[in-house]
Amino acid sequence: MGQLLLNNVQKFYGDYEVLKGVQLEVKNGEFVVFVGPSGCGKSTLLRMIAGLDATTAGDIVINGVRVNDLPPVKRGIAMVFQSYALYPHMTVFENIAFPLRVEKMEEAKLKAKVENAARILHLDQRLQQKPGMLSGGQRQRVAIGRAIVREPKIFLFDEPLSNLDAALRADMRIELAKLHRQLKATMIYVTHDQVEAMTMADRIVVLDAGNISQTGAPLELYHKPANQFVAGFIGNPKMNFLPVTCKGVSASGVEVDYLGQTALLPVTPRDSMAGKTLTLGIRPEHIQLNGGDIVFTVTPTVIERLGANTVAYASLNGEAENFCAMLPGSVGIRPDTPVATGINAADCHLFDEEGIAFERRVELTEIDMNVINPTAA
Ligand SMILES: Nc1ncnc2c1ncn2[C@@H]1O[C@H](COP(=O)(O)OP(=O)(O)OP(=O)(O)O)[C@@H](O)[C@H]1O
């Protein structure tokens, strides 16, 4: 079992503050994913939990014990890196067994543990091979096997799939999700790939320039992003942002004007908003061709026909490719030919001048909130 508490964790490199007081609790059995753009500090945070980087201030607490001053091997964690870090001259068996050999574990016990990990990871037939004979995905499984045999309190993954091609990455995502279910272990996973975060996490932690911007279940972040940064980061293709003017508020929401059209957005209003410039957010998958509460004409420049849907990158109000629409199925739209599109007020997000979201009045389902409690199974 592994619980983690990060209490006001800070990191400076010289004068540069990389992490600005991170506060986070990870429950036993949770799969938590840290996401954020390059340089936001996610790897640094993971390395500090592992004990590979020193913490400038704050507490890192694992299962109730402050571990700031403990070396990595004493923290009860195992880390899997992007570069598999395997020993090329050793067999798969010996690579997986390595941490147990360091512990001087008795041979029969060691063999049983390695074979068990190999079975979980479908490496049983590969134990006598050297890493050079394995595919990228198999090598990463060996690295994960080496983590499993240590039976850590917490698994840490630092972008473990980014060296794999797209198809293998998708397969390994499924493998890791299954592994988490099977081991019921606490896992913390760093990636800049929001699809990995959305598909694997019980809870996503979005980092922005050394601060936690929002934490929540994947679909909670999708439906109720706290701010424009999270709204733009979660969801693929990215959310569109349009400037609107606030016309007024009522009990049922905020009335906005977009190029002379008025729509009532079902969000919780705030005081003295009339006349302010706000930002309307609309996801590409919520653009439609058959009218809506607000309609406008866009001119597609690039069209991606993916079979299940059609993605159009378009120019809106003369700005090239500043707009993206994802339409279901195959749609007969053409590059450079204007097309009428529309959006519904209920699908819109609204952000203030600081980029803070107005609370949307959408009911989240139990699935949206990931109520499947990993610790209850
Ligand atoms: N050893 C170091 N010395 C000085 N600055 C560092 C060091 N390690 C990281 N940094 C800086 O700290 C910031 C955060 O780095 P970090 O590797 O944690 O980012 P990240 O979010 O994991 O990014 P990426 O997705 O690109 O790996 C970056 O600006 C980086 O340049």
Say if 32 falls within a structural domain.
Answer: yes
The model's pLDDT over 302-356, given as tens digits with 9 standing for 90+, comes to: 999 999 999 999 999 877 678 999 999 999 999 999 999 999 999 999 999 999 9
Helices and strands, number each (H, E), in the chain: 8, 19
Biggest alpha carbon–alpha carbon distance for the chain: 77
Residue nearest to atom 6 of ligand 1 (CA): 13
User: Can you name the residues that pair with 264 across neighbouring β-strands?
Assistant: 255
Among 301, 334, 341, CA closest to 319: 301
Mutating to test ligand 1, I would choose from 9, 15, 17, 18 the residue with most ligand atoms within 8 A of its C-beta, which is 18
Name the residue with higher pLDDT: 362 or 18. 18
What's the pLDDT at 282? Answer: 97
Give me the domain span that covers residue 258.
238-351
Task: ipTM value, please give it.
Answer: 0.96
1 pLDDT band, cuts 50/70/90, is confident
377 pLDDT band, cuts 50/70/90, is very low
Average pLDDT over residues 5-34: 97
Is 16 found in the same domain as 50? Answer: yes
What's the pLDDT at 273? Answer: 85
Q: How far is the CA of 38 from the centre of ligand 1 (A)?
A: 8
DSSP states of 147-210: HHTT--SEEEEESTTTTS-HHHHHHHHHHHHHHHHHH--EEEEE-S-HHHHHHH-SEEEEEETT
Average pLDDT over residues 102-127: 93
DSSP state of 215: E
What's the pLDDT at 168? Answer: 83
What's the pLDDT at 326? Answer: 97
**Closest approach atom of ligand 1 to CA 13:** 4
Is 255 found in the same domain as 176? Answer: no
Among 32, 5, 6, CA closest to 370: 32
Q: How far is the CA of 123 from the centre of ligand 1 (A)?
A: 34
Domain's final residue, options 173, 200, 231 = 231
b vs e for 306-329, b when ≥16 Cβ sit within 10 Å of the residue's Cβ? eeebbbbbbbbeeeeeebbbbbee
In this model, does residue 212 exceed pLDDT 50? yes
Average pLDDT of every residue of the chain: 92
Question: Rounded to two decimals, what is the model's pTM?
Answer: 0.92
Is 73 found in the same domain as 52? Answer: yes
Is 171 found in the same domain as 112? Answer: yes
What's the pLDDT at 164? Answer: 82
What CATH code is carried by the domain that includes residue 98? 3.40.50.300
Say if 357 falls within a structural domain.
Answer: no
Is 203 found in the same domain as 262? Answer: no
The number of folded domains in the chain is 2
Is 218 found in the same domain as 261? Answer: no
Is 325 found in the same domain as 255? Answer: yes
Is 224 found in the same domain as 115? Answer: yes
Is 247 found in the same domain as 195? Answer: no
Percent of the chain topping pLDDT 90: 79
Q: How far is the CA of 274 from the centre of ligand 1 (A)?
A: 42
What's the pLDDT at 352? Answer: 95
**What are phi and psi for residue 339, nearest 5 degrees?**
-135, 140
Match 């499947």 to its residue by tokens.
Answer: 372
What's the pLDDT at 373? Answer: 53
> How far is 120 from 134, CA to CA, in rounded Å?
17
> How far is 49 from 22, CA to CA, in rounded Å?
12
84 pLDDT band, cuts 50/70/90, is confident
What's the pLDDT at 376? Answer: 45
Is 258 found in the same domain as 191? Answer: no
167 pLDDT band, cuts 50/70/90, is confident
Using alpha carbons only, give the angle 341, 345, 348 rounded to the nearest 5 degrees: 90
What's the pLDDT at 56? Answer: 97
Lowest pLDDT segment from 19-28, 124-133, 162-171, 356-365: 162-171
What's the pLDDT at 162? Answer: 86
What CATH code is carried by the domain that includes residue 327? 2.40.50.140
Is 200 found in the same domain as 251? Answer: no
Average pLDDT over residues 231-244: 94
Average pLDDT over residues 15-31: 96
Q: How far is the CA of 42 from the centre of ligand 1 (A)?
A: 8
Q: Which residues line ligand 1 (CB under 6 A)?
A: 13, 18, 36, 38-44, 192
Is 263 found in the same domain as 202? Answer: no
Say if 140 falls within a structural domain.
Answer: yes
Say if 192 falls within a structural domain.
Answer: yes
